[in-house]
Amino acid sequence: MCGIFAVVNDTTNQAAQTTLAGLKKLEYRGYDSWGIALIPLGSKTVKLEKHVGKIGQAVTRLPKGSIAIGHTRWATHGGVTDKNAHPHLDCKKQIAVIHNGIVENYQEIKSYLKRRGHVFKSETDTEVIAHLIEEKSKTKPITQAVFETFNSLIGSNAIGILDSKTESIIACRNGSPLVVGVGDNQFFLGSDVPAFLNSTNKVHFLHDGEAVVLNKNGVKLYDVDSGKEKKLDIQSLDWEMEDAEKGGYPHFLLKEIYEQKDTIAKIASLNSFEIIKISQLIRKKNKVVLTGCGSASYCALAGKYFFAQSGIESQVYPANEIMPFLNFIDEKTLFITISQSGETADTLIAAKAAKRNGAIIVAVVNARGSTLERMADIVLQVGAGPEIAVVSTKAFTAQLATLYLLTKAAEEKLDEGEQKIKKLAVELKNWLKPTLIKHLIKVAKSLIDREHIYLIGKHLNYPASLEFALKIKETSYLHAEPFAAGELKHGVITLIQKGTPCFVLASADEAKDEVLSSAAQLKARGGRIIGIAPFVSQEFDEVIKTPELGELTIFPNIIVGQLLGYYLGLGRGADPDKPRNLAKSVTVK
C-alpha cells in the first residue's frame, strides 16, 4: 500500500522524470494520488508537484534537478485530495516526506507540534513526520533527527525524507517494504524493485530497524536504534526489465494470465530440496496449518484438499481470523504461510504469533526479500516474477502448484507430482488459444449487464470457485457469489430465478455426479447453467471446456475465471490492472 520512490544523483538531471517513471511502475501499490518533491539545480528549497488520480500518462512540469522523491498513495488518513497527497513538507519547506504505513500515535504528536507553533496543511498522519524532524533538527544533525523521529512512531511504517540542506535522502523501515538500488553512480529507493529495474538490478532489501542515507557520494546503511553504521548486503537479482513491462499485451493482467503456462512449468524444478525437507517434517507427525489472506487463503484451502488426498490432515485459518485458534499452534506445528508479497500485515501478524508459539514457519512467497521470507524457517520461492496487476493470477497458481508438490512429496511421490505439473503446463499452452478466448468474450458479453452471478463447486472445485468468484468481483465489480455445491439446498437456492447465470465448476472426479445433480437443481429453478469442466453434460446449457488433468483440472478451471474477469472488467469499464479501492500489497491491519 502506497509506493515510495527516490533517486539521487540522477545522471540526466531529470530526477523528476525519473521519479515519475518509477512511480508509474509502482502505481499498483496505490492510485488515489501521486506527488513528487525535487531540489531544483542550484536551489535549497524543495519544489512540489501533487495530483489526485492515477498517474497514467501524466507528465511533470518540475524543473531540472538530480535528487527527488515521489509517492503514489492509497489513502488511509485524510480524503483523496491534492493537499493530502504526499510528499508533505515542514514549515520551512526544507524537508519533504513520503510514507507507507500508518502512524498510530499521530494525533498525540500533532498536538505537541501545534503547541510548538507548527502549521499543518493536510489531514494526514504523515505530515507530523516532516514537522517532528524539523523540530528535532533544530538541535541535532538531520540523520539523528530522522532516526529519533522514526523511533517515536508507533505502527508499521516506511519513510523517505528529502533534506534540501544536505541534499540527501534518508529512509527508514519498520514493517513496510523498502529496497535500495545501487546503479552506476546513481542511487535509488523503492517500495519494490521494478521501480528502478531499468537502471539497476543490484539491490539491498532493508530489514526492519534499518535506515539508509543516500547522497551523491553513495549509500550508507544504519541501525535506526543505535545509529551505528552497518554493512550493505548487495544482491544481484536475475529479473529482467521485460518481466516488469507489458511486453505487447494491453494490460499486465492479461500478460500475467498468459505467463502462467511458463511460471507453472518452472515450479516443477524449483524448491525440491526444501520441499523434501518439509515433507520429512510432515511425516515426523508435525501438525500442518495453512494460512494467508484473500486469494492466498483460497490457495491454502485448496492445499488442504490436496493434503487430504495425500492422506495428511491439515487445518486452514484465514490469517485475519487466526487469533482465537492460536492456542492450537505450537512447536509441533508446521505453519505454512502463503503470500505473493510477503508483506501482508495480517499474514505477518499471524506468522509472528505462530513463531512466538514455537511453530516452524514455512513461507510460500513470490516477491523477493520480503519480511515473511526473512522471518520464515523454510522458504519456498515460487518464482513467478514481478506480479504487477493488483489482482493475483500467476503468483496464485505458482503457489498452488508448489503446495501440490509438497503434498505429493509428503506421499513420497514428488517425481510423479513434478511430471503432472509439467504436463499441466503443456496442456495449458495447447488450450490457451484464440478459439477459447473468442468463446470467453462471447460469454462475458452475455453477462455484462447482470447484477449477480452464482458459482458452485465441490471438493477441490470449491476453493477453485472461491478464487474464480474473487477474480470476477475484483476485475469487473460484478457480484459473483460462490457456494459449496451441497449448500444450495440449505438456503441459497432461493436466489435462483429464470435466467440467473450459474457457473458450475467441475472435474472428472469423485464429486462429479453430486455437482451435476446440484447443477440439475439450479436448472430446475430456471438458472442458466454454464459448465466449466473437461466434459459436456446435459445439465449444462453451455460449457467452457477445460483440459482433463485429474486433480489439476482446477488450474484451468480457475484460469477461466481470471480471463472472464478480465474481459468482463473491460466491458464494464473497469481498469483491469488497477481495480477501484484496492492496492497490491495490504500492509495495514
Residues that bind ligand F6R (CB under 6 A): 293-296, 339-341, 344, 347, 391-392, 470, 474, 585-586
Number of residue whose CB is nearest ligand F6R = 294
- Classify 153 in phi/psi space as left (phi over 0), alpha (psi -120 to 50) or beta: beta
In whole angstroms, the minimum distance from the beta carbon of 340 to ligand F6R comes to: 3
Identity of the residue, 310 or 340, whose beta carbon is nearer to ligand F6R in the bound complex: 340
| Nearest CA-CA partner of 36 in 382, 28, 21 | 21
Q: Which residue type occupies 394? A: K
Burial of 212 (0-12, 13-18, 19+ CB in 10 A): buried
In whole angstroms, the minimum distance from the beta carbon of 471 to ligand F6R comes to: 7
Question: What cell does 129 get?
Answer: 513526520
Identity of the residue, 340 or 407, whose beta carbon is nearer to ligand F6R in the bound complex: 340
2 is catalytic: yes
In whole angstroms, the minimum distance from the beta carbon of 341 to ligand F6R comes to: 3
Contact between 222 and 229 (Cβ < 8 Å) = yes
In whole angstroms, the minimum distance from the beta carbon of 589 to ligand F6R comes to: 13
Residues 6+ apart with CB under 8 A from 96: 37, 46, 48, 69, 87, 88, 89, 130, 161, 162
Identity of the residue, 212 or 293, whose beta carbon is nearer to ligand F6R in the bound complex: 293
In whole angstroms, the minimum distance from the beta carbon of 395 to ligand F6R comes to: 7
Identity of the residue, 40 or 482, whose beta carbon is nearer to ligand F6R in the bound complex: 482
* Torsion sign (Cα): 532, 536, 537, 540: positive
CA-to-CA separations, 11 to 47, 51, 188, 207, 344, in angstroms, rounded: 19, 26, 12, 28, 35
Per residue in 367-396, is it b (16+ CB within 10 Å) or e — as a string? Answer: bbbbbbbebbebbbbbbbbbbbbbbbbbbb
Identity of the residue, 344 or 518, whose beta carbon is nearer to ligand F6R in the bound complex: 344
**Residue 35 DSSP code:** E
Identity of the residue, 372 or 532, whose beta carbon is nearer to ligand F6R in the bound complex: 372
Burial of 111 (0-12, 13-18, 19+ CB in 10 A): exposed
In whole angstroms, the minimum distance from the beta carbon of 155 to ligand F6R comes to: 19
Please, what is the Cα angle at 316 between 315 and 319, to 5 degrees? 135
In whole angstroms, the minimum distance from the beta carbon of 344 to ligand F6R comes to: 3
Contact between 501 and 478 (Cβ < 8 Å) = no
* Torsion sign (Cα): 338, 342, 346, 352: positive
CA end-to-end span of the chain: 11
Identity of the residue, 384 or 470, whose beta carbon is nearer to ligand F6R in the bound complex: 470
Identity of the residue, 168 or 587, whose beta carbon is nearer to ligand F6R in the bound complex: 587
Identity of the residue, 180 or 372, whose beta carbon is nearer to ligand F6R in the bound complex: 372
For 237, phi and psi rounded to 5 degrees? -85, 150
Residue written as cell 488518513? 77
Distance between CA atoms of 253 and 272, rounded to whole angstroms?
29
In whole angstroms, the minimum distance from the beta carbon of 580 to ligand F6R comes to: 14
Could you say which of 2, 172, 293, 299 is catalytic?
Answer: 2
Could you say which of 110, 523, 584, 589 is catalytic?
Answer: 584
Identity of the residue, 37 or 586, whose beta carbon is nearer to ligand F6R in the bound complex: 586
Please, what is the Cα angle at 408 between 404 and 413, to 5 degrees? 150
For 480, phi and psi rounded to 5 degrees? -120, 120
In whole angstroms, the minimum distance from the beta carbon of 503 to ligand F6R comes to: 18
Distance between CA atoms of 10 and 16, rounded to whole angstroms?
9
Residue 141 burial (CB count, 10 A): 11
Residue 142 burial (CB count, 10 A): 20
Element (H, E) at 99: strand 95-101
In whole angstroms, the minimum distance from the beta carbon of 578 to ligand F6R comes to: 12
Name the β-bridge partners of 101.
157
Active site residues: 2, 584
